[in-house]
Amino acid sequence: MVDNNHQVKHQQTSPEWGPTAWTHLSTVRTQSPLIQCITNFVSMDLMANTLLSAGASPAMIHSLQEIPDFTPRAAALCVNVGTLTAEWLPAMRAAAEAAGRAGKPWVLDPVAAGVSGFRLEACRELVGMRPTVVRGNGSEILALANASVGPSKGVDSSHESTDAVEAAKSLAKSSGCIVAVSGAVDFVTDGQRVVGAQNGVAMMQKITATGCSVTALIAAFVAIDPLHAFEATATALSIFGIAGEIGMDMAKGPASLRVHLIDSLYGLDQDTVVRRVNIISFS
């Protein structure tokens, strides 16, 4: 499934991923971490509902005036540049800085990083503020790693996630962040290790803001296990994918999949999670 040109080799599934994923999900449900989201207008509804269904407490708060009071009290921060304008950047910077100063994890979603010079520069500046995790699709991670405005296709990826694994490793090394690349397989790397979360269904890409929403879910998982951000990123991707798989059994198209995905995320039990988590290590 992974191109050998990328020097990643198949390994055995570790038996611990299932229980780890369950521990993460059940801890989110118990602790209900407060997740501040500075995100794009398209994603706000699905992102908030994803977090609520997982057991977290979302707060879409992006006012510059509130960040000093609010960000240090959040358990984690999610920054998403989807509908970026110059007016929103200062709040993103301020919140990232406040989270960093308070020792809180934060996650960056560099939506459409390569579609304009303005956006690429903004994303690179935010990566320079050292988010805990960066999650994007193949085109976004390639644009970030190569610092190039490319012939990318808006917000949808024109690259397979496998094409971006080396770029992700390189970005992780240079930035110090965990980097996740979403696609048919979701790869997660810290620059050394690479794992692939192989849950999910293709139709999830036909629902707007699923990528944004799983980034917020990563923030919630990292919030409750900040010392294992690499593992929390992989389990969040896997859990969201499992919810999509179960939802797909009932779906008749993208809109009913969206409904069933959220319902399934809400209803996931230990047995299902442990049995279905499909995370594979590459070396």
Site membership for a copy of itself, residue 62 (CB under 8 A): yes
Question: Between 161 and 200, how does the x/- string for binding to a copy of itself read (CB under 8 A)?
Answer: ----------------------------------------
Q: Residues 97 to 116: which contact a copy of itself by CB under 8 A? A: 112, 115-116
Contact residues for 281 (Cβ-Cβ < 8 A; gap 6+): 11, 12, 13, 14, 193, 194, 195
* Least distance in angstroms from the C-beta of 202 to a copy of itself: 12
Q: Which stretch binds a copy of itself (CB under 8 A): 9-17, 137-145, 171-179, 201-209?
A: 201-209
Tell me how many degrees the CA angle 124-126-127 measures, rounded to the nearest 5.
Answer: 65
Calpha distance 55→222 (Å, rounded):
14
**Binder among 26, 29, 31, 59 for a copy of itself (CB under 8 A):** 59
CB atoms within 10 A of CB 76: 26
**Binder among 3, 153, 271, 275 for a copy of itself (CB under 8 A):** 153
Buried b (16+ CB within 10 A) or exposed e, 252-274: eeeeebbebbbebbeebeeebbe
**Binder among 135, 169, 258, 276 for a copy of itself (CB under 8 A):** 258
* Least distance in angstroms from the C-beta of 80 to a copy of itself: 12
Site membership for a copy of itself, residue 266 (CB under 8 A): yes
Element (H, E) at 213: helix 210-224
Backbone angles phi and psi of 23, in degrees to 5: -60, -45
12 or 65, CB closer to a copy of itself? 65
Residue 195 three-state SS: strand
Which burial class, exposed, middle or buried, applies to 9 when counting CB atoms under 10 A from its CB (0-12, 13-18, 19+)?
exposed
Question: Between 115 and 144, how does the x/- string for binding to a copy of itself read (CB under 8 A)?
Answer: xxxxx-------------------------
35 or 194, CB closer to a copy of itself? 35
Site membership for a copy of itself, residue 52 (CB under 8 A): yes
